[in-house]
Amino acid sequence: MSGTLHEPRRVAVLAGGRSSEHDVSLSSAAAVRDGLLAGGHSVEWIEIDRDGTWRREGEVLAVTPGHGLHGVDVVFPVLHGPFGEDGSVQGLLESLDVPYVGAGVAASAVCMDKVLFKDLMASLRLPQVDYVAITAEDMQADPAAALERAASVGLPAFVKPAHLGSSVGIVKVTAGQDMPDALSVAFSHDGLAIVEAMASGLEVECGVLGLAAAEQNGSGARALASEPGEIVFSGEFYDYEAKYSQGGMQLLIPARISSAARARVQELAVRAFHAVGCEGLARVDFFVDGESVLLNELNTMPGFTPTSVYAKLLEATGVAYPELVDRLCTLALERHAAGRARRH
């Protein structure tokens, strides 16, 4: 892929946010800032406090709908989790009428909701593990019925808050009597929990990168799937500690899977990306057991340091980090221009 970067732009990098992934966002955003600077762009650093206050250079930042964001050309919202990756900030940026990197309002909301995402994938008959959704109200109204539904996926199972990332609040359940406590943990984070059957095989991840109009070359392809990578970890499952502790995980590129499974992973990654209406980028996670490939989740704003999985997958596919952040800004500007050309 071409390593040529575009003309210098003024980019606002949004960092922090209200979610439990605030610190992860700060690390990702700092890396994006450095990558943009390395590509010759200028950066406006805008940090969102844990209470939701936006600050620029320590001062509270006020915005006006329809007037952009502090005169920048494009916004890079490097925000993870609720109140940043769920469509809320994307909606604000739409109201400001400013180009921004990544998925729009609807796609962000769908992918942040694990149940809604899986329901959509199921409607398209894409392969997944068995799952059920349980609300806190379900448990309060009829605990026995809720636990019976949870048991229907079998054991071991994983219980997760439906709207969080970075493996926050996930509990592995190996005995039925532990299910109520696992659901309580999930409900401490979210009113909606998802119970998933445990999948066998390898955890494999694939990056997706949108293609600018000039790169499509009449092929009809609107996105590129990266070389799949395999996640190797020492614990029971790929939890928060494995993701963010030094030496907690190892990424193997290419993944130790067959050529047929590799092609299937890439095919499903792009299909899921388009099915939910994603734009710009995504990381799509799978379970691969021999030739069996099961779709797990889609992350619209994955961890974004140069050593994060998404960046490493794209680097292995020929897109270096400064080029990656530059290309994402180009895609954001193209989408914004296309939207302005339409009558609403």
Residues annotated as catalytic are 21, 166, 244, 283, 285, 297, 299, 303
Q: Are 315 and 304 in contact (CB under 8 A)?
A: no
Q: How far apart are CA 10 and CA 42, in angstroms?
A: 5
Phi-psi region of 304 (alpha: psi -120 to 50; beta: other; left: phi over 0): alpha
User: 255 and 288 in contact (C-beta within 8 Å)?
Assistant: yes
Rounded to the nearest angstrom, the gap between the alpha carbon of residue 316 and the centroid of all alpha carbons in its chain is 19
Cα distance from N-terminal residue to C-terminal residue, the chain: 36
Neighbours of 302 (CB within 10 A): 23
Longest C-alpha distance within the chain, in Å?
61
Q: Judge whether 259 and 240 are in contact, CB under 8 Å.
A: no
| Residue 340 buriedness (CB in 10 A; 0-12 / 13-18 / 19+) | exposed
